[in-house]
Amino acid sequence: REREVLTRLELPLAMPLIMGGLRTAALQIVATATLIALIGGGGLGTYIVGGIAQSDTVQTVAGAALVALLALLTEFGMAFLERAVTPRHARPKRRWRHVQPAEGVSPPMPIGV
């Protein structure tokens, strides 16, 4: 009975939170792997560190772009995985609604007007 409650109720409801934690951890790993180049560990951070050492802006920006691309691919991949393993009934519902400004509140004005 307890195992059934765990597998049919608690784990499916906890899955978005578990996957959110794994998603965050995966991005932290990408960031940390980039910093390993500072101690000579290699990786994509090598391009950034080498570019800075040689004052080569193109190499630095290219390395940063590769790291950003890897981070985006990791984020989208983990989001896809999160959606795949989370039961439909446990997913947060998208609710689009138009928010009306409070009465008596003027709309925002551009700066300098």
In this structure, which amino acid lies at residue 99?
Answer: V
pLDDT of res. 92: 65
Q: Is 2 a residue whose pLDDT tops 60?
A: yes
pLDDT of res. 13: 84
pLDDT of res. 99: 67
Q: Is 66 exposed, middle or buried, given 0-12, 13-18 or 19+ CB atoms closer than 10 A?
A: middle
Tell me which DSSP letter residue 99 carries.
P
Could you give the CA distance from residue 104 to residue 46 in angstroms, rounded to a whole number?
56
pLDDT of res. 96: 66
Q: Is 113 a residue whose pLDDT tops 60?
A: no
Closest to 9 (Cα-Cα) out of 85, 87, 82: 87
Q: Is 89 a residue whose pLDDT tops 80?
A: no
pTM of the predicted model as reported, rounded to 2 decimal places? 0.69
User: And the tokens for 47?
Assistant: 């391009």
Could you give the CA distance from residue 64 to residue 45 in angstroms, rounded to a whole number?
8
Q: Where are the domains of the chain?
A: 2-87
> What is the percent of the chain where pLDDT is above 90?
42
The SS3 assignment for 35 reads helix
Tell me the longest C-alpha to C-alpha distance in the chain: 67
User: And the tokens for 60?
Assistant: 């630095």
